[in-house]
Amino acid sequence: MPGGWNLAEDESKCWRELISKAPYGVIGDCDAWEVEIASCLMAEYRRSRLDMPAARLNLLHSIMGRFGFTPADRSRISVPPPKEKNKFDDDW
């Protein structure tokens, strides 16, 4: 998780869980804000499933779908294989 973010303990736990379960290569640095939103929504859902407004649950479901967390969404995700590093690559 990026340093300096002010997430509650349960939100931070959801962050780590989401990152660890995401399909390989789907989530990158530029997705941090979406991961933050999803983590906060997931923590809210776990705290109070029955009281979570449908609109917020739909937003969570939408974000999770974009990250490939359903079988149908995973089938639409195409991630290039990691590039092999060669001896001429810079270490920047």
The DSSP annotation for 8-32 comes to -HHHHHHHHHHHHHSPTTS--GGGH
Percent of residues in the chain assigned helix, strand, coil, to nearest 5 = 60, 0, 40
pLDDT in tens, 61-91: 999 999 988 888 887 877 767 667 776 666 5
Give CA separation, 22 vs 1, 68, 84, 88, in Å.
14, 7, 22, 31
pTM of the complete model: 0.77
d(CA 92, CA 84): 15
pLDDT attached to residue 37: 95
- Is the pLDDT at 20 greater than 80? The verdict is yes
pLDDT attached to residue 34: 94
